[in-house]
Structure 1
Amino acid sequence: MAVLAGRFVEVASPDGEAASTLRDRLIDSAVGVMTTAGWAKVTMARLADEVGVSRQTVYNEIGTKNDLAEAMVMRELDRFLAGVTRSFDENPNDLINAIRASARRVLKYAQNNALLHAVVSATHGADTELLPLLTTHSEYLLEGAKAVVSERVASYDLDLPEGRLDPSIDMVVRLVLSHVMQPSGDPARTGNDIAWIAERVLR
């Protein structure tokens, strides 16, 4: 279960299996077309042909092209946050390992994920039609990730000076997102580096 912009959404974690519904298949097709040919080439008729349904079925399932863009972006962000949540669930007694696992899982998921990169950087080349949506959701991504981490960190025993927890969380989240946008190494090594820094800050 992920939380984003006040919504609770059932999603697969970055290393889990997503349910193969018609909506999923349509969104997968749209992401594939957008990342290889550009947003202008994404049409309801093309999606209908690729998935093997009528164009009216696509409209009934998705709505407008703007609705499709929203669904594409929100699914990536929900999966991103689901990975963070799962990492903390798997490490209920070790905050540093939870941060390490979160960073590794997120960075692995982000590899070759053009749509997620576009959201993080709030740009997607010449696809200016998507820019306002990406810019808005890049803010949701940052705030959503910080909210998930803040909620989970509350259960750990930390001895930080008053007012230092929030900026510490902000620092860790921004550090992970910077590596999503511009990786400097493999996810495992980068996760270890981020965990080392977080340990120095939080302990």
Structure 2
Amino acid sequence: MSVVAGRPGDGVAGAFAAAPPSLRDRLLEAAVQVMTTDGWGRVTMARLADHAGVSRQTVYNEIGTKNDLAEAMVMRELDRFLDGVAQSFDAHPDDLIAAIRDSAQRVLEYAEDNALLHAVVSATHGADTELLPLLTTHSEYLLEGAKLVIRERVAAYDVQLPPQRLDASIDMVVRVVLSHVMQPSADPARTADDIAWIAMRVLG
């Protein structure tokens, strides 16, 4: 997993804006747009080729099969999600609660209007049953990946909790954030403040 530099609160998508998109990124972005507007069944290599101004063979060479395309789309969103968490902890090396607040806000801002990420979190995507096994598998990867990133970063802070209680606390925070990805109850900043308050009480 690569960590992309960015200011706290800018959101993960903004951190990618400076670099011109590669052909692969352009194809994946086009695939996400088609899937979220027309459904997975309307995503074809020919349509992606037209969007990028390349031949269909070039799309196959760059992406592979349609199953490879689905995998690449999902993994890109998950990597960006986890990169955002890592960025927030990098920005607050001496304040764990601030790191949690920033990562929650960053993730929630990135998740707004991100239909693919919502599909992964819920492991559903309407009637696109072809994608369900992939989404179900990667929803577990997202949960475990987020907990792993936070667990590794929390080790650098002075948290006076036994390992079992710390793991339970991390699990709780991650699940609360993901629940707000699926069903927001307030704007990202306010929700992040609430999550940080809970984390402060739990982590002491």
Change (3 A) 1:11 1:118: farther
Q: Deviations over 1:105-163 (max 9, x none)?
A: 00000000000000000000000000000000000000000000000000000111452
Identify unmatched segments of 5+ residues in structure 2: 6-11
Whether 2:131 is the aligned partner of 1:130: answer yes
Cα distance in 2 for partners of 1:122, 1:15 equals: 26
Change (3 A) 1:92 1:124: same
Change (3 A) 1:60 1:10: farther
Identity %: 77
Paired AA for residue 15 in structure 2 = G
Deviation at 1:14, TM superposition (A): 3.5
Counterpart in the other structure of 1:84: 85
Whether 2:152 is the aligned partner of 1:155: answer no
Cα distance in 1 for partners of 2:186, 2:63 equals: 37
SS in 1 for 2:164: coil
Counterpart in the other structure of 2:192: 191
4+ runs of 1 displaced by more than 4 Å? 9-12
The TM-score with structure 2 as length reference comes to 0.93
Q: Deviations over 1:44-67 (max 9, x none)?
A: 000001110000000000000000
Whether 2:174 is the aligned partner of 1:164: answer no
Paired AA for residue 50 in structure 1 = H
- Whether the 8 Å CA contact 1:48–1:58 is kept in 2: the answer is yes
Change (3 A) 1:49 1:11: farther
SS in 2 for 1:185: coil
SS in 1 for 2:14: coil
Paired AA for residue 114 in structure 1 = A
Change (3 A) 1:72 1:10: farther
Cα distance in 2 for partners of 1:48, 1:71 equals: 17
Cα distance in 2 for partners of 1:59, 1:81 equals: 28
Counterpart in the other structure of 2:98: 97
Change (3 A) 1:11 1:52: farther
Cα distance in 1 for partners of 2:156, 2:121 equals: 28
Counterpart in the other structure of 1:16: 15
Q: Considering only aligned residues, what root-mean-square deviation do their CA atoms show, in Å? A: 1.2
Counterpart in the other structure of 1:60: 61
Cα distance in 1 for partners of 2:197, 2:46 equals: 50
The TM-score with structure 1 as length reference comes to 0.94
SS in 2 for 1:112: coil
- Whether the 8 Å CA contact 1:96–1:195 is kept in 2: the answer is yes
Change (3 A) 1:108 1:78: same
Counterpart in the other structure of 2:178: 177
- Whether the 8 Å CA contact 2:3–2:86 is kept in 1: the answer is no
Paired AA for residue 173 in structure 1 = V
Paired AA for residue 130 in structure 1 = L
Change (3 A) 1:49 1:133: same
Cα distance in 1 for partners of 2:167, 2:182 equals: 23
Number of residue-to-residue matches in the alignment: 196
SS in 1 for 2:84: helix
